[in-house]
Amino acid sequence: MNEEREKEEEAVEKRELIKDGKRLDGRGFEELRPIKIEVGVLKRADGSCYFELGENKVIAAVYGPKEMHPRHAQDAKMAVVKFRYNMAPFSVDDRKRPGPDRRSVEVSKVSREAFEPVIMREFYPKAAIEVYVEILQSDAGTRTAGINAASVALADAGIPMKDLVSSVAVGKIDGQVVLDLNGTEDNHGEADMPIAMVARTNTITLLQMDGHLTAEEFGRGLKLAMGACRQIYELQRAALIERFSSSSNSGSKSEKRGE
């Protein structure tokens, strides 16, 4: 075990997730983890994106619009969005049993619902739009990273959307409302609230809460998430612009290192 990890475990045992106004990983309360976005990383998919949020590493791939099978599941008026969130067995500390479980079914459902208001499904009756999110490495916030990646992959696939969806979690640790909890903070904190939104209009498309926040803390957390989603939106946009303005097909990168 390295020295940093030992110190972290010691602080967690003492129930100190915040010390001298800083979090264990050195971030301020309102600071995002470093973000890296690469667009068009997969050759076979219609659209794809690799997204890093701190120690989270996520890939999203999009197929479609294509004919929906089985036919009885088609919607005569609009496209059906399928969303599969999956955690790789090697993405967590102890090997995760492969395949769907209750959690991944829930995350897939809420992620799909986070996109339904923005995807112009009525353009493609009877069609399917398939979104696959694979978590390669996890450190809390994987559903938010997956939604950010899926949003960029959908745009990369040319799926018409009213706007991009951006996502982040806020929570409470040691009594403080903070942005973007990491794994240790998520495990030992008091609350975790993932949010997805259309950042330009502040339209919320996903909001979940694990734990307890007062009404005042909820309001503060929401405001924090709105600001962070705007930052993430700018990075998503920049990565897409770079992808489509570069002449090569080798994909594009966009990064934000911690301030």
Q: Binding string to ligand ADP for residues 76 to 115, with x set by CB under 6 A, is what?
A: ----------------x---x------x------------
C-beta closer to ligand ADP: residue 78 or 207 = 207
The angle formed by the CA atoms of residues 225, 108 and 144, to the nearest 5 degrees, is 20
Amino acid at position 54, single letter: G
State which of positions 28-57 bind ligand ADP (CB under 6 A).
none
Among 142, 151, 205, 236, binds ligand ADP (CB under 6 A): 142
If binding is defined by CB under 6 A, does position 141 make contact with ligand ADP? yes
| Min CB(11)–ligand ADP separation in Å | 19
C-beta closer to ligand ADP: residue 133 or 240 = 133
C-beta closer to ligand ADP: residue 148 or 252 = 148
Neighbours of 248 (CB within 10 A): 8
C-beta closer to ligand ADP: residue 65 or 171 = 171
Among 52, 139, 180, 217, binds ligand ADP (CB under 6 A): 139
State which of positions 148-207 bind ligand ADP (CB under 6 A).
183, 186, 192, 194
Give the footprint of ligand ADP on this chain (CB under 6 A): 92, 96, 103, 138-143, 183, 186, 192, 194
